Amino acid sequence: QVQLVESGGGSVQTGGSLRLSCAASGYTYSGNCMGWFRQAPGKEREEVARIYTGGSSTTYADSVKGRFTISQDNAKNTVYLQMNSLKPEDTAMYYCAASYGESTYYRCIYSRENFGYWGQGTQVTVSS
């Protein structure tokens, strides 16, 4: 059974930092597509970043470019989201997602394939 477990959320002030973690189990990790999404109350879910774990290629939403960094630790089957210079508008529930199976750079990064597995989410709150 595939499980994605997020951790690292919390409350910070504007300008602060947090690092989210997504640990994958029951899942063949290498060469997959993984991503971070967020959803604020009353808003649609937004893709924040994604990574092709077979080569570490990444993409970011314009709203987080230069502030957030997605990375991977293959030995730990874990994907991270380092969030710096946080703003109140970053407040949301953050979700980790993974492709159903093995992916490719083209499918993950260029074609922006859909994700099949989702975590339960971790709350990030940024106060002004």
Mean pLDDT of all residues in 81-89 = 98
CA distance 27 to 81: 19
Mean pLDDT of all residues in 59-80 = 95
Mean pLDDT of all residues in 32-48 = 96
Residue 13's CB is within 10 A of a number of other CB atoms, namely 11
For residues 4 and 119, the answer to whether their CB atoms sit within 8 Å is: yes
Mean pLDDT of all residues in 9-37 = 92
Residue 27 has pLDDT above 80, yes or no: no
Tell me the HSE value of 127 on the side-chain side, using a 13 A CA sphere: 4
Residue 20 has pLDDT above 80, yes or no: yes
Mean pLDDT of all residues in 97-111 = 92
Closest CA to 33 of 7, 11, 65, 55: 55
% pLDDT > 70, the chain? 98
